[in-house]
Amino acid sequence: MGSVLSRLPKQSDPNVLVGFDTGDDAGVYQISSSVALVQTVDFFTPIVDDPYTFGQIAATNSLSDVYAMGGRPLTALSIVGFPNSGQDLDMLEKILQGGLAKMQEAGCSVIGGHSIADNEIKFGYAVTGMVDPRRVLTNQGARPGDCLVLTKRLGTGVIATALKQQKARQSDVEASIESMRMLNRKGSEVAQEFDVHAATDITGFGLLGHAHAMALASKVSMVFDHKQIEFLPGAVEYSRQGFFSGGLKNNAQFLEGCLEFDEGVPEEIRSLLVDPQTSGGLLLVVSEKDALALVEKLREHSVPASQIGKVLERTSPLIRVI
């Protein structure tokens, strides 16, 4: 997709503060000196069996791009693909109910949507939020010396794969679901109290894939300490057993040549660091002086944050894991 977008003509609207050409999580459009709109869209196929829970996760995931930009969600439009072959409409109702519940929790009003007949169920939202144009968080602001803070544990991808193969423990699935339907709202709000220079949310490209995009945009390198990264219950075990999705393998291939692991990093951890996440946490780039206080404040608000690495001057490799 990136190669296609790069061939499109450049836009010249001065009110576009963040467009599709920067690879950020959402677009930002300024409408006054103190107000800008944040706009994003996301939808996907079911990753859990329960329709209400699927709706919750899809909504939480759709909201995360707005939070990653430092914004506050305002309105949402639902996007639905659903079979017209007589499949139980109660299932669709439960999906919509789950999504609406999370939107209400976020203070975001669902004001409409669009549906199509599709053989495969798909659900998500286009979300519009608001942000101060002087305080937009992008993926371009990382500076050498900054610290990297992650607000959720990793592992939703391998747990989902193990679930599909009926090998996941119920307690591990429940912990993963709880993480996926936890809004990034508090993480975003707390981040605005500190000297945070950049942010992104961790989704389909995995931790290191999204870090790679941020490092490129900021013209820096990053080093991660694998011992400081926390994983969901069961994730390391499922990774060791090889419950890998096609997305994980694609992410690993994409990063070849710009990612280096120290010899002491176990194979199962290497895989988890490129594991596609659904509704993952925020990767926050914060000044060294604020890093510890940021993590402490996040944890006070029940956000399972950890300081996991540092930003370096641009070097090779672009991303290193020690």
Are residues 63 and 186 part of one domain?
Answer: no
Give buried/exposed letters for 129-168 (b at 16+ CB in 10 A, else e): bbbebeebbbbbbbeeebbbbbbbbbbbbbbbbbbeeeeb
What pLDDT, on a 0 to 100 scale, did the predictor assign at position 3? Answer: 67
Are residues 148 and 13 part of one domain?
Answer: no
Taking the C-alpha atoms of residue 291 and residue 228, their distance in angstroms, rounded to an integer, is 14
Signed CA dihedral, 301, 305, 306, 309: sign only: negative
CATH of the domain at 85: 3.30.1330.10
Are residues 165 and 77 part of one domain?
Answer: no
> Both tokens of residue 106?
């976020």
**Percentage of the chain surpassing pLDDT 90?**
90
Residue 171 has pLDDT above 90, yes or no: yes
At which of 80, 104, 134 does a domain end? 134
Asked if residues 92 and 82 have their Cβ atoms less than 8 Å apart, the reply is: yes
What pLDDT, on a 0 to 100 scale, did the predictor assign at position 22? Answer: 72
The larger pLDDT score, comparing residue 110 to residue 11, is at: 110
Most distant CA pair in the chain, distance:
59
Query: Which range marks the domain in which residue 310 is found?
Result: 137-321
Are residues 254 and 149 part of one domain?
Answer: yes
For 89, half-sphere exposure in the C-beta direction (CA atoms, 13 angstrom radius) is 3
Are residues 194 and 117 part of one domain?
Answer: no
Taking the C-alpha atoms of residue 55 and residue 100, their distance in angstroms, rounded to an integer, is 8
- The per-residue pLDDT for range 38-59, each reduced to its tens digit, is 999 999 999 999 999 999 999 9
At which of 119, 134, 149 does a domain end? 134
Q: What is the pTM of this model?
A: 0.94
Are residues 175 and 302 part of one domain?
Answer: yes
DSSP classification of residue 231: B
Q: What's the mean pLDDT in 52-79? A: 97
Asked if residues 316 and 156 have their Cβ atoms less than 8 Å apart, the reply is: no
**Percentage of the chain surpassing pLDDT 70?**
98
Are residues 101 and 198 part of one domain?
Answer: no
pLDDT band at residue 11 using 50, 70 and 90 as cut-offs: confident
Instruction: Measure the CA angle with vertex 7, ends 198 and 125; round to 5°.
Output: 55
Are residues 281 and 251 part of one domain?
Answer: yes
Q: What's the mean pLDDT in 244-259? A: 92
The answer to whether the peptide bond before residue 317 is cis (omega within 30 degrees of 0) is yes
> Both tokens of residue 181?
């339907």
What pLDDT, on a 0 to 100 scale, did the predictor assign at position 1? Answer: 61
The H-assigned helical ranges of 106-169 are 156-164
Q: What's the mean pLDDT in 142-146? A: 97
Q: Cα dihedral angle (295, 159, 182, 68), rounded to 10 degrees?
A: 60
Are residues 279 and 229 part of one domain?
Answer: yes
Neighbour order of strands in the sheet with 36-44: 16-18, 27-30, 36-44, 122-131, 72-82, 109-117
What pLDDT, on a 0 to 100 scale, did the predictor assign at position 24? Answer: 85
What spatial distance separates the first Cα and last Cα of the chain, rounded to whole Å? Answer: 31
At which of 83, 100, 134 does a domain end? 134
Taking the C-alpha atoms of residue 140 and residue 316, their distance in angstroms, rounded to an integer, is 19
- The chain-wide mean pLDDT, for the chain, equals 95
CATH of the domain at 158: 3.90.650.10
Are residues 308 and 170 part of one domain?
Answer: yes
Residue 23 has pLDDT above 90, yes or no: no
Residue 21 has pLDDT above 80, yes or no: no
pLDDT band at residue 14 using 50, 70 and 90 as cut-offs: very high
Are residues 175 and 85 part of one domain?
Answer: no
Domain count, the chain: 2
Q: State phi, psi for 114 to the nearest 5 degrees.
A: -150, 140
What pLDDT, on a 0 to 100 scale, did the predictor assign at position 87? Answer: 65
Asked if residues 41 and 79 have their Cβ atoms less than 8 Å apart, the reply is: yes
Are residues 242 and 153 part of one domain?
Answer: yes
